[in-house]
Structure 1
Amino acid sequence: MTDTHSRPHTSVPGVRPASGHPRRRTVVAATAASAALLPLAGGLPSAHAAEGPAFLHGVASGDPLPDGVLLWTRVTPSAEAVPGSGKGSPVKVTWQVAEDEGFEHVVAHGTVTTDAAADHTVKADVRGLQPATAYWFRFAAGEAGSPAGRTRTTPADDADAANFRAGVVSCSHYEAGYFASYRHLAARDDLHAVIHLGDYIYEYGHQEYPLEGDVVRTVQPEHETLSLADYRVRHAHHKLDPDLQAMHAAHPVVAMWDDHEVANDTWSGGAGNHTPGEEGEWADRVRAAKQAYFEWMPVRPSTEGTTYRRLKFGRLADLHLLDLRSFRDQQASFGDGDVIDDPDRTITGRKQLDWLKAGLSSSTARWRMVGTSVMISPVAFGAVPAHLLGPLAELLGIPQEGLALNVDQWDGYTDDRRELLTHLRDQGIGNTVFLTGDIHMAFANEVPVKAATYPEDAPVATEFVVASVTSDNLDDILGVAPDTVSSVAEAAVRATNRHVKWLDMDSHGYGVLDIDAERAQMDYFVLSAKEEQDATTGVRRSYRTLSGSQRLEEADAPLRG
């Protein structure tokens, strides 16, 4: 339970001076805690026992609204109250929101009591704020204060916003590399938000993925996550990463999930990486994973405890976020065209697809963004040379002998895709941009209703697919230098799929999306090396779609920032 006040309140005991990103001492504390984690519970350095409460997992904000934002942190009340332990007394945590970095002008404050039932995580759904305004926030418990974070509300629903600019990320497997992408996004002061398209965590145990020899660092717990405690520890271990903490402290994050938040190739009744009986009941595992997710992420639960929901950015853009795991039918057998075209099979579920179609039809925004965790553009891989089919199949997680298309994507649920894309065409709904992750590659696609009739039939949407933050892509699997062997596969995919305007099978990084009245542009940033914590970054390519066109063109230059 929280309370919000408009009157100034200038002090919270123990709160340190504000900073846009975690201070050095906070980063040091997080690093020390990470090194001292116990295999299961994520134990903390014993020195914290004498200090009382501590904020070791940073602060975050998310799901911004015109008048509010969701604030998040995790308090460690005592040394034994480590994530997933179920230990520790209830703690009263206060929060503040201010107009300035020095917290001289506090505009809202309140109190939240948390306990072991919530893994001592804290959420405050703050309202009463001003639209399109930057704020600072912080927490305190007893004499302990959290680092400060910076967040931002969205424009009023009827406001003509000049632009919307967001970082776009997906697929951040801890053992595969460092989160340098998050650090670079944290350093930008021109973003309104960061959109995380899923696979924020991975469920695998140590050295299960990537394989032994490719592991950059060790995740906790070291075994595969199955129980509520396991998922809590995995989320907590990610939140100790200083680059991830910096991103969350710098920008509100709008997050959705994909499969690895539970298990690889999740569908409504199971997953490719779940063995019933041996690994418990599927329903219990899903319940545990979702509980931990909503405890540890700055996300408001939406319909039926899922992540599909809608946010608005004035009259400029709507963002429809999908949940493509909770309602989907099991993935089809490879090469079984009759199954993938079956109108009784679904990736969205009837209710969610109707919700999306209605939202797209009723939108009065200039642009309609759709966050989809898996690629909607049809892509056939059959023209890829035979010696690359095996590695590509491994990357996509599908059998080599069946590689023609990826049935875990919308390609495996063609009737839902046909219904959605036909709706866009028949209703004359323009300026729809799909934002996608999952595939560990970067794409810039035009989206036709039928790929076979493209380009004679105009596309009905565009799609920007961002590369992975760390998760393996083609050159990682082959153990070769980037932009060598993959160039052959890229050329083959483009030749077979004319609506694919560009793809990159090797890079790791993030996107920066900027939308204004005239165009939507994605700058694709790549890292110098995911294995290096201080990796540099640069723009690999920029693509844009002009308002009313549903076409893509390469942009002359990246956006400022």
Structure 2
Amino acid sequence: MTTAHDRTPHATELRAAARHLGRRRFLTVTGAAAALAFSVNLPAAGTASAAELDTARLDADPFTLGVASGDPLPDSVLLWTRLAPVPYQADGGLPAKRVDVRWELALDERFRRIVRRGWDTAHPEFQHTVHVEVGHLDPGREYYYRFRAGSWVSPVGRTRTAPDPSSRTRELSLALVSCQKYDEGYYTAYRHLAQDDVDVVFHLGDYLYEYPVNATGGSRAYPGGTLPALFNHETTTLEDYRLRYALYKSDPDLRAAHAAHPFVVTWDDHETENNYADDVPEDGGPAEEFLIRRAAAYRAYWENMPLRRPQLPDGPDLKLYRRLHWGRLAQFDVLDTRQYRSDQAYGDGWQFPGPESEDPRRTLTGDAQERWLINGWRRSDALWNVVPQQVTFALRNQNSAVPAKLSMDSWDGYPASRDRIMAGARAAGVENLMVLTGDVHVHYGFDIKRDFADPDSPTVGTEIVTTSIATGKDGSARPSNYDDLTAANPHLRFYNGLRGYATVRLGRDQARADFKTVSRVTVPGAPLTVSGSFVTEVGEPGLKPA
């Protein structure tokens, strides 16, 4: 990270110019783009995918990594799977040949009422992943789906379409998940989520971690060390990231949650590298080198997530921010606060705010995404305007000192950016604003204040922060900084540091948030508890105990 003393406007301009030069140079790095196969189009004839695999030769189950669906639209669902009979192998156990995959969509789990069926091709260039966009469907309907390759049949998944855009839908139930470091605990929360009654799941980042995973799986303590050594180093190449997704998706509880509910995903930092900012790596270094790593991470992310074609990456860029609707009940503006941000101020971490962090030119979203968000609010006719994103939005003083240290990686490190967003919401007349957040491995419930420095300032929205699925190991219900944080932030209405997930039920009169936790993740099978429940009423923002 760059230190504070060289943060003059002249130095900032030079660094910006260098980053643009680095992005251009990425395209000319000898052999890099070709070696990583970063074409935005499907493989053409004459490439490795031109050869077709005889599926009769599939002598092992290729659906070891399960199925998933995502980004529900009123008339369309996105279905995903990846063929990998040997998932802990770089090629997944398949030759560099294309594989024809059949899919079926039905109204019932036993597939007696099939409404759509078809074929898609799993290309080796995309690690034999399949992204099927099934259209011409009825809005607001539940569907079941499955895939076939040769004689093998995938697990059955359940998905749904969004309601008709003009529908005055009465209710929507959603879940928030984040931060699932494989080697720090079991995915027990996902097992409970698979059985929970929700319409859609929002994954708010850190789907995987780039750090080494040892042979015992860390806290999972596999007897005898059963994981191969290829996981025991940091991910930097396309092959590394692909293998890491295979490791994470080998977890049965994660697969169960994906099969049970459609997911809407966005990344944070660890899908690429901890606390990177745009093309600036965590520990500094040439932008053009980091962009090669970022391109590998972004491509592997698209391959392994239930994302649609508009999110297909172009080299080191992937437009992940997007807008979804749930009738006229809710508009979801899914943000990317990592790819376009200014570098963290004062070397990152918890620092005192000052001229560098408060520079009005600093941005967390980038100018284009900021305009897109505010313009979307101006056109919104939704009752609830919901912003799924990554890092804590509300002010979070570390303690009651004046001034107090703030996290430079969160919106506190970009206060001018936050002020512009809040001013845009106010100008657009947004009354029922809800921000959904991950990243921090604890449950928070915040009131969003017009002026965080004034506790009596009007409350203008609500932020629901979900804890981690596994990151941080077991955690505790009352973290060591509980007293300091709650005393220093009167707008903080709830704080719990156990693992789990949150659910939000949006209605026409109010929204209810339930913070759900498990007692332990270092051993499997812990029960689920509702640790806190709150409501926020339409037209009266702010959290109240349910």
TM-score range, shorter chain: 0.7 to 0.9
SS across alignment from 2:541:
coil
Determine if contact 1:95/1:109 at 8 Å carries over to the other structure.
yes
Choose the corresponding residue for 1:231, options 241, 248, 251: 241
Distance apart, 1:494 and its partner CA: 1.7
Matches within 5 A, 1:113-262: 113-188=121-196, 190-206=197-213, 216=221, 221-262=231-272
Distance apart, 1:483 and its partner CA: 4.3
Q: Identity of aligned pairs, percent?
A: 37
After superposition, the C-alpha distances for 1:132-169 in whole angstroms (9 at most, x for unaligned) are 11111011111111111111111010111121001111
Distance 2:331 2:87 in 1: 44
TM-score (norm 1): 0.80
Distance 2:301 2:499 in 1: 25
SS across alignment from 2:193:
helix
Q: Compared with structure 1, are the counterparts of its residues 146 and 268 closer, same or farther at alpha carbon in structure 2 (3 Å cutoff)?
A: same
SS across alignment from 2:308:
coil
- The answer to whether 1:323 aligns with 2:344 is no
After superposition, the C-alpha distances for 1:280-339 in whole angstroms (9 at most, x for unaligned) are 910011000000000001022547622111110001001110000110011000335101
Determine if contact 1:445/1:463 at 8 Å carries over to the other structure.
yes
**Residue 436 of structure 2 corresponds to which residue in structure 1?**
435
Distance apart, 1:404 and its partner CA: 1.0
Distance 2:506 2:255 in 1: 26
Distance apart, 1:184 and its partner CA: 0.5
After superposition, the C-alpha distances for 1:255-286 in whole angstroms (9 at most, x for unaligned) are 110001101002112232x5647x99100110
Distance apart, 1:222 and its partner CA: 1.7
Matches within 5 A, 1:83-482: 83=91, 87-188=95-196, 190-206=197-213, 216=221, 221-272=231-282, 276=285, 281-300=289-308, 302=310, 305-333=318-346, 334-383=351-400, 404-455=405-456, 457-472=457-472, 476=475, 482=476
Q: Larger deviation: 148-157 or 334-343?
A: 334-343
Q: Compared with structure 1, are the counterparts of its residues 83 and 276 closer, same or farther at alpha carbon in structure 2 (3 Å cutoff)?
A: farther
Q: Compared with structure 1, are the counterparts of its residues 300 and 266 closer, same or farther at alpha carbon in structure 2 (3 Å cutoff)?
A: farther
**Residue 536 of structure 1 corresponds to which residue in structure 2?**
527
Q: Compared with structure 1, are the counterparts of its residues 435 and 143 closer, same or farther at alpha carbon in structure 2 (3 Å cutoff)?
A: same
Distance apart, 1:52 and its partner CA: 5.1
Distance apart, 1:360 and its partner CA: 1.5
Distance apart, 1:491 and its partner CA: 2.2
Q: Larger deviation: 107-116 or 174-183?
A: 107-116
Distance 2:477 2:89 in 1: 47
Q: Compared with structure 1, are the counterparts of its residues 216 and 527 closer, same or farther at alpha carbon in structure 2 (3 Å cutoff)?
A: farther
Determine if contact 2:377/2:428 at 8 Å carries over to the other structure.
no
After superposition, the C-alpha distances for 1:332-356 in whole angstroms (9 at most, x for unaligned) are 0033510111111111000000000
Q: Compared with structure 1, are the counterparts of its residues 164 and 286 closer, same or farther at alpha carbon in structure 2 (3 Å cutoff)?
A: same
Distance 1:186 1:133 in 2: 19
Determine if contact 1:267/1:330 at 8 Å carries over to the other structure.
yes
Question: More strand by proportion, 1 or 2?
Answer: 2
Aligned residue pair count: 476
Determine if contact 1:319/1:370 at 8 Å carries over to the other structure.
yes
**Residue 495 of structure 2 corresponds to which residue in structure 1?**
503
Distance 1:521 1:347 in 2: 29
Distance 2:175 2:471 in 1: 18
Gaps of 5+ in 1: 1-47, 385-401, 477-481, 556-561
Distance 2:217 2:62 in 1: 35
Superposed CA RMSD: 2.6
Q: Compared with structure 1, are the counterparts of its residues 56 and 320 closer, same or farther at alpha carbon in structure 2 (3 Å cutoff)?
A: same
Which letter does structure 2 place at the counterpart of 1:66?
A: P
Which letter does structure 2 place at the counterpart of 1:245?
A: R
